[in-house]
């Protein structure tokens, strides 16, 4: 027998040197869904981002997490300062993000036309790789993209010309970051209870007064904020949207008072603050009273970022445990050779693939909607809240299970999983908690054809699948019957019924996407994932044979490059 060595892992232990090159599933999906012109332009950026994320970003991410931003209220001589200071690692991470062109490919005048219909998929691919190593700063990046999109769609041309090149640039030193200041103490997610006010100065310029309670990326250069205007009508109808810049045209600072920085459980690298507007100058975007309606473009972008962040965190956690247990010997053999561990990876790999296909399909719907596809616009309305809700909820479970698979070392701060676990817990809360999202899905059902189109896709997509078609049809029929019943019952009963019903529909849609995406190459992983998804759909006790190590390797889709 080989002598036992005093080592945690075997001598042949290795890790990925490139998170893009190592991801078989991601690369195959891009091959199928991104035209050659887009891949040719972005491939070297994705490769560099993959190397940065695998080799350099962890150390920077740990430093930024361990040295969170600090509020400096005064200078040593007692003068008011009211500035947020960051560790240098924060700015290095910003530089890596900008040079990946996750924004530039979307907002550069030439590229956004050249890559119309795929620009979001190109940019989000860079973001997915980035967020595998740094989830905290993915929030400021999210706000930046959201601010750019909102300005592009609703801003005055002079603001677009002046600000979009900075929000969409490819160098960290030139990058303007964005933020949206929505919530107040009075209502939280219920922004219809907001009380901050804006008084008109002249034309579209106003002075804002009031307090904002959760202001992520509080040091942003470009802020979008809601405030009441006119007669102060109640609810969201009385809210207008304002573009607030950190610095006024004259060069002086716009008066924005930071009260304190939030001491958060996770995503500690970026600044979340409580803020008071005191004669803060803002420029109205759109018509008075239309603020919340316009802001939904930025909210939807943020929810999609939330989904991509969840996908990235869960995948990183799964891969960390997969690499570890391939080189950990317990009870006489490598850990992955034990059936219980392989069974857990069967579950995690299947959940990842299901969420990956759902999130990527949502991104593609956003791209298609921008080309004028009316059906995709309607489908997007239902896919965004579904992807946000389910990816976030599943990510926490996947990260926790990955920690358990690694055992004690999974819980130790020398490793990356504790940070990921702290960070990922924000995802079901930000951009609409789970209950708020369920209410939004209900609204989307009433105001769009999205749910009908989603159910239609499932029905069409399973017709040729003789193995699972009948099972999915049965479960789908039950779901449709319950959906129809919702229109005739009281509101409380609808809300109590909606959450498990929507879980089932998401599950069925993810199975449809797996069937739809299966080709000669991807069947190496989709067939194993469909096996898991159908067993949980049946939820029956049965004798189950575990997948082999080789089969799990296919499902995880990781090649160690």
Read off the pLDDT of residues 525-539 as tens digits, 9 standing for 90 and up.
999 999 999 999 877
Q: At what angle do helices 339-370 and 374-406 cross, to 10 degrees?
A: 160
Q: Is 354 helix (H, G, I), strand (E, B) or coil?
A: helix
Read off the pLDDT of residues 57-80 as tens digits, 9 standing for 90 and up.
999 999 999 999 999 988 888 888
pLDDT, residue 31, reads: 98
pLDDT, residue 548, reads: 92
Mean pLDDT over residues 161-183, rounded?
96
Q: Which helix (H) or strand (E) holds 125?
A: helix 119-131
Q: Is 20 helix (H, G, I), strand (E, B) or coil?
A: coil
284 has pLDDT over 90: yes
Q: Is the dihedral of CA 476, 480, 483, 485 positive or negative?
A: negative
Dist. CA 7–CA 329, nearest whole Å: 10
**pLDDT classification of 541: cutoffs 50, 70, 90:** low
Closest to 532 (Cα-Cα) out of 342, 393, 358, 346: 346
Which residues contact residue 155 at a Cβ distance below 8 angstroms, ignoring those fewer than 6 apart? Answer: 163, 243, 285
Indicate where the chain has its CATH 2.40.110.20 domain(s). 178-290
pLDDT, residue 148, reads: 98
CA 544 vs. chain centroid, Å, equals 34
Read off the pLDDT of residues 119-134 as tens digits, 9 standing for 90 and up.
999 999 999 999 999 9
Q: Is the dihedral of CA 549, 554, 558, 561 positive or negative?
A: positive
Mean pLDDT over residues 332-336, rounded?
92
Under a CB-based contact definition with an 8 Å cutoff, are residues 132 and 126 in contact? no
Dist. CA 133–CA 313, nearest whole Å: 8
Residues in the chain, total: 561
Supply the pTM of this predicted model: 0.96
394 has pLDDT over 90: yes
3 has pLDDT over 80: no
Biggest CA pair distance of the chain: 85
Supply the Cα-derived Rg of the chain in whole angstroms. Answer: 24
Q: What angle do CA 227, 377, 33 make, to 5 degrees?
A: 120
pLDDT, residue 461, reads: 85
Read off the pLDDT of residues 401-422 as tens digits, 9 standing for 90 and up.
999 999 999 999 999 999 999 9
**pLDDT classification of 1: cutoffs 50, 70, 90:** very low
Indicate where the chain has its CATH 1.20.140.10 domain(s). 291-561
- Domain 291-561, classified CATH 1.20.140.10, yes or no: yes
Mean pLDDT (the chain) is 94
Dist. CA 272–CA 216, nearest whole Å: 4
Mean pLDDT over residues 357-372, rounded?
98
- Per-state percent for the chain, helix, strand, coil, to nearest 5: 55, 15, 30
Dist. CA 324–CA 317, nearest whole Å: 11
Q: Is the dihedral of CA 106, 142, 85, 162 positive or negative?
A: positive
Q: Produce one character per residue of 184-221: b if its CB has 16 or more CB atoms within 10 Å, e if not.
A: beeeebebeebebbbeeeeebebbbbbbbbbbbbbbbb
112 has pLDDT over 80: yes
CATH number listed for the domain at residues 178-290? 2.40.110.20
pLDDT, residue 2, reads: 62
pLDDT, residue 232, reads: 66
pLDDT, residue 222, reads: 97
160 has pLDDT over 50: yes
């Amino acid at each position: 027998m080989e002598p036992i060595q005093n080592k945690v892992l075997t001598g042949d232990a290795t890790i990925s040197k490139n998170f893009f090159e190592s991801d078989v599933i991601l690369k195959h999906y891009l091959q199928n869904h991104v035209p050659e012109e887009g891949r040719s332009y972005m491939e070297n950026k994705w490769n560099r981002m993959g190397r940065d994320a695998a080799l350099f970003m962890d150390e920077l991410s740990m430093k930024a997490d361990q040295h969170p931003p600090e509020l400096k209220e005064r200078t040593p001589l007692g003068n008011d300062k009211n500035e947020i200071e960051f560790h240098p690692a924060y700015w290095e991470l910003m530089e890596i993000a900008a040079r990946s062109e996750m924004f530039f490919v979307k907002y550069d005048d030439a590229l956004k036309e050249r890559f119309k219909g795929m620009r979001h998929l190109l940019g989000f691919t860079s973001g997915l790789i980035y967020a595998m190593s740094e989830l905290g700063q993915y929030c400021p990046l999210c706000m930046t993209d959201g601010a750019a999109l909102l300005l592009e769609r609703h801003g005055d041309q002079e603001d677009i010309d002046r600000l979009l090149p900075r929000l969409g640039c490819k160098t960290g030193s030139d990058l303007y970051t964005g933020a949206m200041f929505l919530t107040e103490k009075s209502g939280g997610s219920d922004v219809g209870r907001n009380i901050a006010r804006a008084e008109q100065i002249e034309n579209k310029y106003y002075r804002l007064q009031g307090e904002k309670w959760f202001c992520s990326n509080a040091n942003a250069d470009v802020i979008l904020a809601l405030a009441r205007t006119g007669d102060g009508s109640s609810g969201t109808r009385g809210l207008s949207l304002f573009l607030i810049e950190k610095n006024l045209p004259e060069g002086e600072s716009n008066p924005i008072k930071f009260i304190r920085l939030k001491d958060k459980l996770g995503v500690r690298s970026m600044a979340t603050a409580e803020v008071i507007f005191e004669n803060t100058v803002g420029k109205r975007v759109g018509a008075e009273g239309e603020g919340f309606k316009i802001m939904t473009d930025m909210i939807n972008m943020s929810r999609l970022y939330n989904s991509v962040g969840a996908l990235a965190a869960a995948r990183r956690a799964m891969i960390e445990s997969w690499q570890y247990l391939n080189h950990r010997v317990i009870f006489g053999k490598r850990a992955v050779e034990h059936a219980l561990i392989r069974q857990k990876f069967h579950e995690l790999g299947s959940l990842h693939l299901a969420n990956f296909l759902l999130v990527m399909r949502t991104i593609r719907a956003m791209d298609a909607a921008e080309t004028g596809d009316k059906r995709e616009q309607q489908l997007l309305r239902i896919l965004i809240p579904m992807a946000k809700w389910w990816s976030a909820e599943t990510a926490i479970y996947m990260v926790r299970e990955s920690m358990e698979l690694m055992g004690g070392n999974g819980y130790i701060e020398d490793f990356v999983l504790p940070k990921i676990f702290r960070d990922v817990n924000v995802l079901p809360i930000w951009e609409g908690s789970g209950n708020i999202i369920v209410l939004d899905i209900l609204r989307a059902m009433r105001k769009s054809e999205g749910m009908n189109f989603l159910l239609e896709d499932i029905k069409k997509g399973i017709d040729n699948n003789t193995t699972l078609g009948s099972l999915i049809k049965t479960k789908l029929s039950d779901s449709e019957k319950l959906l129809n019943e919702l229109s005739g019952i009281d509101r409380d009963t609808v809300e109590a019924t909606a959450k498990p019903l929507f879980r089932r529909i998401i599950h069925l849609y993810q199975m449809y996407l797996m069937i739809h995406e299966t080709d000669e190459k991807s069947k190496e992983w989709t067939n194993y994932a469909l096996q898991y998804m159908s067993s949980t759909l049946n939820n029956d006790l049965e004798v189950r044979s575990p997948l082999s190590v080789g089969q799990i390797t296919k499902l995880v889709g990781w090649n160690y490059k």
